[in-house]
Each structure stands twice: as C-alpha cells, then as structure tokens.
Structure 1
Amino acid sequence: MEKCAASIIAFPMRTSPVETPEHAARSWPSWIVGATVTALLFALASGMWTWIPFWRQTITGDIPHYLVAVQSLLEDGDFDLADNYADDARRAAYYPAPLGPQTAPGTTRPYRGAGIPLLLTPGWLVAGPPGALGVAALALCVASGLLAGLAFHQTRRLSIALVIGAVALFNLPALGYLHFPYPDVFSGVIHLALFAVLTRAIPASRRPIAGIIAAALLSAVLPWLHQKFTALLPFHWALIILWSPRERRATAAIISGVILLLGVVAYLVHLELLGIDPRSYGGDARLAPWPQIAFGLLFDRQFGLFYQFPLLALAVAELARQILFGPRRAAFTALALIASAWGLHTWYWYWFGGLSPAGRHTLNFLFVLLAFLAPFAQRCSERPRIIPITVALILLALHVAQITAVLWQGLLHMTLNIHPYLFIGVPEPDWLQYPYWGRAKLFDHFGIGDYLPSLIFIEGKGLRTLMATLTLLLLFTLCHCWPQVRQARRPLRPALIAGAAVWIGILSVVYWDMRTHRVREPRDFFVELWGRPPSAFDRP
C-alpha cells in the first residue's frame, strides 16, 4: 500500500512538463536562429523599400558614384567612367540629376578602387540599381542575424535573441543606412564576424586553423572597402595570434600574416592595374582638435552616438563588468576592436578631415558593442535588481521613442504632406540619417540645442552635457557591477575609488583642452572645403 501511494505521489514528478516554444528552441543550433532572423529582417527591409514611399530616399554622397562604377563594369566592361559621367540619360534610373565626376586623382577610374563596386555588382544583376543598394540592407541584416545567433548561443533564450536581432537593425544609425552601401556598413559586419570567430570559433573548434584562416580572410577584405582600413590589419593580426592556442601561435602568426599580406598586395596591384596612385589621396580640412574628434565620434549629436546613449549604456555597463570580473576573452577582444577602429577614425579625421552622413564612422564598431546586450539581459533576468532593471527599461523606452519619432516624421510627410523638416531643418535626402542627429533644429526649437554635444562640426558646444553623460554612464556601470564588487575576494572598493578619481581627472583635462582649443567663432568649413559659403541647411 505504501509503495502504491509513493508511486502515485512520484508519478507527476516523472512526467515531462509541457514545453513552451522558448524551452523547445533551446536545443536549436545557434546558426539556425541567426539565419532565420537574417531572412526575416531582410524580408522586412525589402518590404519597407517596396511599400513605404518615404523610405526610398534620394541617394547622396559617394553612393551614386559607386553605382556609376557598377554600371560601367556591367554595360561597358571596364572602369573608365568618363562616358558614364558625361551622359546624364544613362544615370536616369538611379540618379536623375547632374552628377559631377568623382574619380581617383588624375584618372577617370573609381575614386576608391573597385572594392565596393564589385561588392554591389551581384545586387545589380539581380534587381538593377535597387538591388545594388539593397546589398547594404542585406549586410545589416546579416549583422543583426549574427548578433541574434550570438545572443542565443550565450543565453539559450529565443526571446532575447529575437529582441537583440531586431534592436540591432532598428536603431540609428543602422536604420538610416539600409540602402546606403558605405564602406563602414560592410566594415561593421566584418568586425562583428571577426569578433565571433575570435571569441567562439577558434577556442571552441577542434581545428583552430580553420578559424585562424577565417579571421585572417575577414581582415584581409577590409582594405578593399577603403584604404584607411589597412592600418587596422596589424591589430587584427596581433589578436589572431593572441587568441590562438598556445601551441599553434607560431603557425597562426605565419598563416594569418601571409593571408593579410596577400590581401594588401592584391589591393595595391589592382590599384596599379587601374592606374591609381594610392599616395594621391589627400585630405580636406581639420574639423576640430583631436580630443573633440575622439569624443565626438562617440558622443557628438551629429557624427557620433549621443542619441544611442540610452541603448549603448546597457552594453557598456556589461562590457565593463566582464572586463573586471570575466569572462574576459570576449570583453578584451571587443575592447581591442572598438579601440582600434575608434583610434583609426580619430586619426583619419584629424589628418585628412572630411564630412560624412550622421553616424557613419561609428558603424565600424557599433555591432561589436551591441553584442554585450544579450549577457546584460541574461544577467538581469537571472538576478533581478530593481534599480538596474528600471533604468534599463527607461533607457530602452527612450530608444524606442527615438525610432518611433523618426518613422512618424516620414509618415507625416507621406500621408498628410506635412514636411517633416519644418522643425528639423535638413534637406530631403538623408532624412533618416539626420533627424534627431546633429543638423537637427528640433532641439533648437525647444531651446536646448546648444546644450547637446556638437564637438566636430561647430565650436564644441555641449561640453557640460558630455561630462554629465559620461558621469551618468560611470554611475550606471558601477550600479550594474556592484553585487560582484561586494562579493569579490579582494576588496575592489579602493581600486574603484582610485579609478573614479583618475576618470574625473581625465575628464577635467579633456574638458579644459576642449575649452582652450575650441574655435570661438564658427569656421567657414564650406569655404575651406568647397570654396563656397554654406547654404540654408549646410550649417547646423
């Protein structure tokens, strides 16, 4: 009788619980989740291009010149662009306006070589000029799918993976570059793939040589996108050697070094075949002192990620926690990739100058930083704490409000014929890249525009807001790390206090430097660059 009763009591414990889709998906391979998210997001992006008229922006900047090169390759079989620029009718399908030549100095060849045009050629073959532009959307969807796959690999939570994938695509600046195939779009995808190979493929594989070759090939592609990326190859080579198994480091150094060298040599040979001298590329004008450029790339309201702060604060806090308490492999890899790309573009802008659409250069390291959103979400779900979760929800709400506001402006323009630039003051092309960014008059309309960081284009406005933003970021990071700080075997509080003091000292020095060297009167950048005064919406 007792055995019968015990068996009856134990029966419910032996039965399998009802599996939810979340539980059933935990056994899926990560690549299936990533590929599915990529396909879904690309279908959505293609639908937005097809069914939403305001999404079909007028291409600008270097983009029409890339299409001219693709058209010349497919229709003429060469990269001699003289006749393509001379005949406006040939460009009517994608740029129905006069277009001045942009070619390599002293030649009629593509300005940056054949890398980007060759990358866009398959898209043109499939769907014409829209297909060529859609290669950028495909690249961004691949990055979002890769982030979703990494998130699923880390958390085994399908919900977190889907949210991370959607957030990666539907954010600024990525949302504004769905059909703008700049080199930095593809560089951001390559950096994320390199991060995944270095932190996942090489250590987890029984054959690390395959991962080493993959990492070297990814890095070797970068110079073909833009010659400035050649400066990153030594850093990537060092990372490949560092994260290879100890007994394979000599082999990794030789194999990856040969691949990287061959990539650079092939790039230089192709420039020689096109008749392009790589030493002929010059700069425009220095926009600001280097501290303003460095901090501006991160926090400038036009060129940086100031309006991404609500989202990126979560990733930065988790990155800092992993640097302090581990696992450190992914954290140090991300830190090296982000710092090298950040330093490269600080140097590039300081020595060569130049202007660009909003947030373009931050795309090089944005996706690597977003990879830390998944462990942040997992940590909050496993160890709920009211303050970090509340702050995170508020920050995510601000991010959603930002994206909603941008789409709302376009919807007004499409349906009610209300011009969305009435308060924002930007030209109609690029409206997705500039609203809620630097050239925005919306904040000036409310009287707060001068308080937001504008460090590169004009005379260093919003420095106090920048300092306050960095201080809030430090406090939120400390709050996120505090439980592990309290449980640490060795007392970390003195180190944290010392670190905070050093941080405040650095900020003080940077603030003083910016205040001392910033231009008191707005410089006539347009006179320096193009020999003409600024138009109504050139200047912020």
Structure 2
Amino acid sequence: LAVPWLPGTLPSIALLWTGRMAWLIWLAVALCMVASKEHRLLRVTRPQITAGALAFTVGAIAFWQVAPSVPGGDEPHYLVITQSLLKDGDIRIENNHRQGDYRAYVSGDLKPDFRVRGRNGEIYSIHAPGVSALVAPAFAIAGYGGVVVFLLLLSAAGSALTWHLAWFVSKREDAAWFGWAAVTLSATWIFHSFTVYPDGPGAVLTLTGVWALLRAEREATSTEESMVPWLLHGAALAALPWMHTRFAAIAGLTGALVLLRLPRVPNAAGKALAFLCIPAVSALGWIGYFIKIYGTPDPSVPYGGEPNSLAFIPDGLAGLLFDQRFGLLPYAPVLLCAAAGICVMAVRSRLRRYALELLFVVGPYLLVVSYVAMWWGGRSAPARFFVPVLPWMAIPAAVGWTAVSSRGARALALAALAFTAFASASLVLVGDGHLAYNSRLAYANWLEWLNGSLDLGRGLPAWWREDEAPLFRGIAIWGSAAVAGYFVVRSLIRVGRLQNRGAFAAASALVAAVFAMVSITVSWAASGVGGRAAVPAQLDALRRLSTEPRLLAFDLNAFTRLRRSAVASALHIEPSFSSSDGGAGRNDRPLFVIPAVPAGEYRLRFARRSAGGWLMVGIGRDQFALRTGPLDSGGAPMSLTFPVDVRAIVVRGDEEARRNVQGVTIEPARILHPGERLSKDFARRAVRYAAATAFFMDDRSFPEPEAFWVGGARDSVVVLQPDQPRATITLLLRNGPVENRVMVEAGSWRDAARLGPGEERQIDVPLDRARGATRLRFTTSAGFRPSTADPKSRDDRFLGVWIKVTT
C-alpha cells in the first residue's frame, strides 16, 4: 500500500507502530500466547555441547546471509598479513598488495593500511599479526572460507565455555541458558563470530582467563596437582597482546587475579611457574617485536599518534554502551540484566569476589578503549571493542536471572531477550547485513528500515563528534523511562485481573510500548523536531512501486483509488541538506544526498536566493556528473533518467551555488515497473560519455572521464543508456600489455576476442531500443598493473581491457 502521508492531526508518535515496527506487535502477541501457559525447561543431556552447536548454527546462518558484505572494513588487511606469513614468511605487506594477493577475497583495489614505516623502510600493517597467524593454517587449507569455518568453530567453543561458566557460578541450568542467550543472540557476538577481527578470538582467550579464576576456586578444595591446565591458561592469556595492543590490559589484569588465587591451591608454586613461563617469554617477544620493527618498545608506535585524551573517556564509555549506531545496549538491551547481576553479585558474600574481579578487569579495559578516539571500531558491527569481555557478561546475567523472583522483572527480562533476538535477526537477514554497518555521519541504518515515517534517529541516544548533548540527554530520558516502567510493571503484580500469566504479559508489553513512545516523544521535543520523516517514507513508497508487482494505492483525502502510475508523480520529495563528508576540497561536500533511488525519471527543482553558480548531479561521491548546469533565474528543472536503481542522487555545487541554493524538490515523473527493470542490483557509479551514459553495477570496473577499464581476470556488468534511441553502439576495445581474452555479452548476443598486447578492436553491440538501455557483461581472462609495467607509475589497479564508447 503506497500511502505517503495520513490525513488528520494525529501526533507523530501515533505512527510508531507502522512499517516494520508492526512486527514487534506480532512478536509481543506471540510471546503473550506462549506466556499464557506454564512451560518446563527442556533438560539437555550435554548442555555445553548443545550450546556450542547452537552458536555455530546461528553464526553459520548469519555468515551465509551477510556473505556479500564480507570481508569488509579491516578484515582484508588481517588476511593480507596471513598471506604474507604463508607466502613470504614475514609480515612485510607492500609486495603482497602490489601483487594483488587480496583479490582472492576482495573485488576492488586495496591499499596497505599503515601509519608508520618500519625502521628498514618497509611497510608493516597497522594491525597486529596475532589473529592473522591464528587463522593461517585454515587459510592455507581452504582460503577465506576455511578461515570463516575456523572462526565459527572457535566462537562455538567459546559459547560452550560461556554456558559452562555461567552454570558453574549460578548453579542453575535455566540461569545458564539465559546468560548464554543474552550473549550469543546479540548482534555484537553473532557478527564477530565469523568476521576476521581479533575481537572474537580475543573474547574466547579472555574467557579462558575467567575459567582459570574459577578453576583456582575449585582446586582450592581438591587435591589436584597437575600443572598442564595452568600452562595452557598462561599460553592463552599470553596470546592476547599479539591479537591487539589494547588486549594487553585484559591479559595483565586477569593474570594478576589468577596469581592472587593460586596460593590456596595444591602445588601452588609449580602451577604459578607453569602459568607464568609462557607469558614471560611472550612479553619479552612482544616488546622485542616493536623494537625490531620500529626501533622503540612503545606498542602504540604503529598507530602514528592516534588522538587520545582523558577527555574522550566519558563520550567513549557512553557511546560504546548506548549510542544507537555503535553501542551495545540499543541492539541487546537484555545485557542490562548483566549490569543488574553485577549488583546482585556485589551484595552476596559468596559471589562478591566474582563481581570485584570482573570490574577489576573490565573497568580498566573500557577506560583504555575509550581513551583513544576510535571506540566505534571503524567499519564493523556494533560494539566491536566490547566483544573481548562480552562472554564474561553471561555470568552476571545468569546470576541476575536467579535473583529475579517477581513476575514483572522476569517478564521484562524475557521481553528484552526477545527484542535482542529480533534486532539481531533484522541486522542479519536484511540487505546482506548492511544495516549493521553504520557511519558516524548519519543515524543508525536500521531505524529508517524499521519505520521510515518517523525520525527515530533523533528519538534515541546518538553521539556526534561536535555535540555530545544528544547522547547524554537520550541516556537520561531512556534511563528514566526504563526505571519508571520497571516500577509500573512491578505494581501490576497486585492487580487482580492480571493474575493470569497471559494477561500480565500483555499488560507488561503495553507498559513497555507506552514508555518507549514517551521516551521518543520527549527526545523529539528536546531536539526541537516534530518527529515526522516524510522523505524516507516517500522513498520507501517509490521503492515498493519499483519492486512489488501487485499494489493497491488510495488517496485517503478523496477516498479514491489511485492508478499505479499516478502515485509517483503525486510525491514531491524535499530532502534536508546533507551532513556527509566530501572529498579533499570544501566544495566536494555534497549539498544533498538522496539514497537508494529506484529506476525511473526524475525532475530536480532548486530553490535559490538568487541566480549564480554551477550545480553537478551524479550518483556517487566522485568527480563524475550526469548533469551539470547553472543555477539560473528561470528555475528550469534538471531531468534525470535512470534505467537501473542507483546508489544515490548526489548534488554538488561550486562556492557560489552553495551560497544561493536554499533547497531542492525531487519530482518523480515515472518509476519503472518490476517487469521493466534491467537488474535487481543498483549502480555504484555512472559516467556520461560522448554518445551514452554508463552505469557501473559493481566495483570491478574503473571509470575514467573518456572511457573505462574492466578489471583483469574478472567479469563486470555495465548498463549503457544511449543519448538517442538506436539499434547498435560501437565500442573500442584496447588491450593492456598482456595476452587477453575478452568477452562481451548483451542478453543472448555475445562476442569474444583474443587480443594481443596493446591490440585494439571495434565491436558493434546490439541495444535494447524498447527499454532505452542495455545490460552488458564484460569478461577478461588476464590483466596487468601499471605500476609493474612502468616503474614511474603509482597505479596499482589490476586492469584488463580499456573500453571507449565511440558512436
């Protein structure tokens, strides 16, 4: 149903439970139905193995869903170090990048990630080599896929250990399962169970340190004298600094706690020696590593003076926990039960030491993480830097569950767990996992997906580099609402009509919904916004017109049915000015960015203070513009026709235009029906050439102002849209300095040629006149690097064939 707005004067918050937010209503209904009957916990014969198997299954399904998006961020850089270790026996990565070793798992070009060269002038990655060495055997056997399987198995083992330790402390299986689920079903753990970052393996190694603490307690009442387990515990902690420098805090503090516990166990001296021998050697080697490569024992030298300050800590801690994009709790509110569990442990004499030990390690680690202006973790799933201590949270979460005696508290805990599972499923199952990867310059991706009609981004805590007020204000508002909601739910226990389990669950869900609506409304008022978000809702309506073959549309003002073709032209989209960063120049920052625009015809009308200046309109953040024109006084619109969905409409302007432009209105003239679409994918870039516009559907081609290169030894899809209707178009193919076989395909037509070094050939490609654009697939068998062919060149791209649209 394409309805861009509703008539009447309903408050904005009344639209909260529309869109995909309505799924939460059905989730609440299902939970209430389940809660209406009493259920016994299913006893499992081998719960640790079951917990590990379930964790592996969840992680494997998640990887299968998000596979098109990974490896991404810093993952390829860790894998390049792995390849350097396997191929060269070193960690000097410049030659591996030059050779394009990473092309086994990355389609585009990848530059070395470094800040400081070694004292020998060589490039060493900014990233620690620990996880790269850990996954090297798996990569040698089965490449990137083998690495993923290995990491899934490792995280599954960690998940099994999580269940065991939660049970050991809580002494109850139901509590152990709750603590296990609170961690394992969080998006933070799921995504880092298979991504090539040090945080997932680091979490498992940290958990072995917790195991050592509990082992010491158990052995204090036994006669066991074996030193082998303690040797292994020491080795695990010794590996942590090699994973990442920030893990040194965890290793040192956990090791100190273990040594404090060891005097009470049998053969204490022997076990202490076994525990310390590997860490002692490893610590010397770790410091020697930096001296050897950089000439200094300072572990921070590879980061090249990354900004750090005590002033960053409040923002970093608050952001790591509460920020809507990179925080832990917005996606996993069930982990609030871990915070409550720590308080319970602190007041119970038997468990107090566990709480103090946890705080002794986790507190300083979080201070270290937030001390550096990088707590968001780059391009990664939420709360990556919290992952190393995340499994530890299962223990206080389990203890918190054992302390829950009222129906109200238990209902809220289970509701939080259900929402956590819903959030994780949304991030995993939608859009190849792209919802999990946020930008510091925009609100959380999944909020618009949940409900595009409302400005949910301004309703939740958000950290901005220049303004911390929305973060702390949001924490105060939502924290106050959570506390008030808890006491209201507790008071419902005494209501006679709510003694039935299902009725009480329904009432609790209603209270949670009301307080969420209140929190969002108060946040909007504090931000000075009304809460409506017309642009995302209008764009969502256009996307549905483009992708759904059967739709009903109504004009609710006139109570009449609308023709499908009339819906798009009824919309007038007026986006706000963009806050996105641009390129090197001041004028590179876009004026407007309208994301994920479906194929169709559009007119852009600009509001202006006065005439003057030039505007450039394209679909990517590059130098290419599809339309360039003056901001004139006549107000003539710019017209755009997209044969495929595009990444965005990006409007830039020169300095004079930036002063004069006051706004833009986008008028969709026509949206392509599902049957008219050339591709389900979207164009990443577009370049207007002499006789046609080329839309690049992947990152395996390299557009240039006069022509484009297709990458070497790969295929790439390009959609050509001729300026005038025609039956054929001529392409000039020029091969690189290597033998190559080039194939061009357009539907059922294809042409293949074997080209010698530097050889040229012209081909006439048939065009689809009915659609006005044609989808072409180019395939090359070989390639070259300009930097290899010409020592003076710095171009490391792996190129196949050069293609020019002539006539």
TM over 0.5: yes
**Separation (CA, whole Å) in 1 of partners of 2:284 and 2:433:** 38
Q: Indicate the residue corresponding to 1:236 in structure 2.
A: 254
Q: Indicate the residue corresponding to 1:98 in structure 2.
A: 109
Q: In structure 2, do the counterparts of structure 1 residues 474 and 216 end up closer, same or farther at CA, with 3 Å as the change threshold?
A: farther
Q: Indicate the residue corresponding to 1:422 in structure 2.
A: none
Q: Indicate the residue corresponding to 2:192 in structure 1.
A: 177
Which of 230, 234, 240 does residue 216 from structure 1 map onto? 234
**Separation (CA, whole Å) in 2 of partners of 1:219 and 1:202:** 18
Q: Indicate the residue corresponding to 2:324 in structure 1.
A: 301
1:463 aligns with 2:482: no
**Separation (CA, whole Å) in 2 of partners of 1:391 and 1:21:** 19
Q: Indicate the residue corresponding to 1:66 in structure 2.
A: 78
Q: Indicate the residue corresponding to 2:732 in structure 1.
A: none
1:385 aligns with 2:406: yes
**Separation (CA, whole Å) in 2 of partners of 1:53 and 1:354:** 22
Name the SS for the 2:384 alignment partner.
Answer: coil
**Separation (CA, whole Å) in 2 of partners of 1:473 and 1:221:** 40
Q: Indicate the residue corresponding to 2:355 in structure 1.
A: 331
Q: Indicate the residue corresponding to 1:29 in structure 2.
A: none
Q: Indicate the residue corresponding to 1:516 in structure 2.
A: none
Looking at secondary structure, tell me which structure has more strand per residue.
Answer: 2
1:281 aligns with 2:303: yes
- Per-residue CA deviation, residues 402-425 of structure 1 (Å, 9 max, x unaligned), is 223334524xxxxxxxxxxxxxxx
1:310 aligns with 2:324: no
Which of 405, 430, 441 does residue 426 from structure 2 map onto? 405
Q: CA deviation at 1:170?
A: 2.4
Contact 2:306/2:372 (<8 A) preserved: no
Q: In structure 2, do the counterparts of structure 1 residues 139 and 438 end up closer, same or farther at CA, with 3 Å as the change threshold?
A: farther
Contact 1:148/1:162 (<8 A) preserved: yes
Q: Indicate the residue corresponding to 1:346 in structure 2.
A: 370
Percent identity over the alignment is 22
- Whose radius of gyration is greater, 1 or 2? 2
Which of 126, 136, 141 does residue 141 from structure 2 map onto? 126
**Separation (CA, whole Å) in 1 of partners of 2:65 and 2:42:** 36
Q: What is the correspondence of 1:87-166 to structure 2 with a 5 Å cutoff? A: 87-88=99-100, 90-103=101-114, 105-106=116-117, 107-154=122-169, 161-162=176-177, 164-166=179-181
- Per-residue CA deviation, residues 311-351 of structure 1 (Å, 9 max, x unaligned), is 1111211210110123212222222222122111122338x
Q: CA deviation at 1:198?
A: 0.6
Q: CA deviation at 1:110?
A: 3.4
Contact 2:166/2:398 (<8 A) preserved: yes
Contact 1:241/1:249 (<8 A) preserved: no
**Separation (CA, whole Å) in 2 of partners of 1:219 and 1:203:** 20
- Structure 1 residues without counterparts, runs of 5 or longer: 1-19, 26-31, 411-427, 482-521
**TM-score after normalising by structure 2:** 0.49
Q: In structure 2, do the counterparts of structure 1 residues 44 and 346 end up closer, same or farther at CA, with 3 Å as the change threshold?
A: closer
Q: CA deviation at 1:144?
A: 1.5
Q: What is the correspondence of 1:249-288 to structure 2 with a 5 Å cutoff? A: 259-272=278-291, 278=299, 279-285=301-307
The aligned amino acid for 1:322 is M
- Aligned pairs, how many? 450
Which of 74, 92, 102 does residue 80 from structure 1 map onto? 92
Q: In structure 2, do the counterparts of structure 1 residues 429 and 399 end up closer, same or farther at CA, with 3 Å as the change threshold?
A: closer
Pick 1 or 2: higher relative contact order, CA cutoff 8 A, min separation 6.
Answer: 1
Contact 2:166/2:394 (<8 A) preserved: no
Q: What is the correspondence of 1:17-56 to structure 2 with a 5 Å cutoff? A: 25=45, 33-46=47-60, 48-49=62-63, 52-56=64-68
- Per-residue CA deviation, residues 348-385 of structure 1 (Å, 9 max, x unaligned), is 338x99745331111122211122222333444xxx42
Name the SS for the 1:467 alignment partner.
Answer: helix
Q: In structure 2, do the counterparts of structure 1 residues 73 and 210 end up closer, same or farther at CA, with 3 Å as the change threshold?
A: closer
Contact 1:203/1:245 (<8 A) preserved: no
Name the SS for the 2:390 alignment partner.
Answer: helix
Q: What is the correspondence of 1:357-506 to structure 2 with a 5 Å cutoff? A: 357=380, 358-380=382-404, 384-410=405-431, 430-434=434-438, 438=444, 440=446, 442=448, 445-455=453-463, 457=465, 459-460=467-468, 461-471=470-480
**TM-score after normalising by structure 1:** 0.70
Q: In structure 2, do the counterparts of structure 1 residues 462 and 445 end up closer, same or farther at CA, with 3 Å as the change threshold?
A: farther
- Per-residue CA deviation, residues 134-168 of structure 1 (Å, 9 max, x unaligned), is 44333332222111222343456556545544543
Q: In structure 2, do the counterparts of structure 1 residues 120 and 295 end up closer, same or farther at CA, with 3 Å as the change threshold?
A: same
- Per-residue CA deviation, residues 489-530 of structure 1 (Å, 9 max, x unaligned), is xxxxxxxxxxxxxxxxxxxxxxxxxxxxxxxxx9998889xx
Contact 1:296/1:456 (<8 A) preserved: no
1:197 aligns with 2:212: yes
Contact 2:126/2:302 (<8 A) preserved: no
The aligned amino acid for 1:452 is L
The aligned amino acid for 2:280 is L
Q: CA deviation at 1:128?
A: 1.2
Q: CA deviation at 1:214?
A: 4.3
**Separation (CA, whole Å) in 1 of partners of 2:192 and 2:72:** 11
Contact 1:220/1:264 (<8 A) preserved: yes
Q: CA deviation at 1:241?
A: 2.8
**Separation (CA, whole Å) in 2 of partners of 1:201 and 1:437:** 46
Name the SS for the 1:80 alignment partner.
Answer: coil
Name the SS for the 2:436 alignment partner.
Answer: coil
The aligned amino acid for 1:132 is V
Q: Indicate the residue corresponding to 2:345 in structure 1.
A: 322
- Per-residue CA deviation, residues 434-485 of structure 1 (Å, 9 max, x unaligned), is 499845552785123123222354522242221244456677999999xxxx
Q: In structure 2, do the counterparts of structure 1 residues 289 and 145 end up closer, same or farther at CA, with 3 Å as the change threshold?
A: same
Name the SS for the 1:95 alignment partner.
Answer: coil
Name the SS for the 1:307 alignment partner.
Answer: coil
Q: In structure 2, do the counterparts of structure 1 residues 193 and 233 end up closer, same or farther at CA, with 3 Å as the change threshold?
A: closer
Q: In structure 2, do the counterparts of structure 1 residues 366 and 476 end up closer, same or farther at CA, with 3 Å as the change threshold?
A: farther
Name the SS for the 2:416 alignment partner.
Answer: helix
**Separation (CA, whole Å) in 2 of partners of 1:96 and 1:243:** 51
**Separation (CA, whole Å) in 1 of partners of 2:155 and 2:443:** 20
Q: Indicate the residue corresponding to 1:418 in structure 2.
A: none
**Separation (CA, whole Å) in 2 of partners of 1:434 and 1:465:** 19
The aligned amino acid for 2:259 is I
Alignment RMSD: 4.2
Contact 1:299/1:466 (<8 A) preserved: yes
The aligned amino acid for 1:237 is G
**Separation (CA, whole Å) in 1 of partners of 2:147 and 2:238:** 23
Q: CA deviation at 1:36?
A: 4.0
